[in-house]
Amino acid sequence: MAQQREHAEEHARLEEQLSSIDSQLHEQGASIEGDEVEVSVDEGFADSAHATAERSELISHMEQLHAHRAEVWAALERLDAGVYGICERCGDEIGPERLEAMPAARLCMSCKQAEAVA
């Protein structure tokens, strides 16, 4: 029973993150179609070098949000499959502190550190 409650709480937390990301993307003019995020920018926006730089920065930010959205979506799929919180590399449990800080984490701290060094 406690495990079902934890599953529901984690699912709600991930859904909340997904909703927040979708809101941020929508606020910045992106439309979300399944796994795709399309950006529409006013044609007059790119009239100057400054505007072009701002547009580039905006697109970069939206790409980061889209990547994070994909990570959260994958975490929801792992949760539903019963493998959420299990390291994809070594199979050990991902610590609760790491999942609290980064709910979409796929690797335990040891494997993440080894990946960063490699």
Please tell me the total count of domains within the chain: 2
**Rounded CA separation 57/64 (Å):** 11
Are residues 74 and 102 in contact, defined by beta-carbon separation less than 8 angstroms? no
Same domain, 10 and 64: yes
Q: Is the pLDDT of residue 3 over 80?
A: no
State the residue range of the domain holding 114.
85-118
Same domain, 90 and 79: no
Q: To the nearest whole percent, how much of the chain has pLDDT over 70?
A: 81
User: Which stretch, 29-43, 58-72, 76-90, has highest mean pLDDT?
Assistant: 76-90
Same domain, 60 and 80: yes
Same domain, 39 and 66: yes
Same domain, 103 and 58: no
Are residues 77 and 93 in contact, defined by beta-carbon separation less than 8 angstroms? no
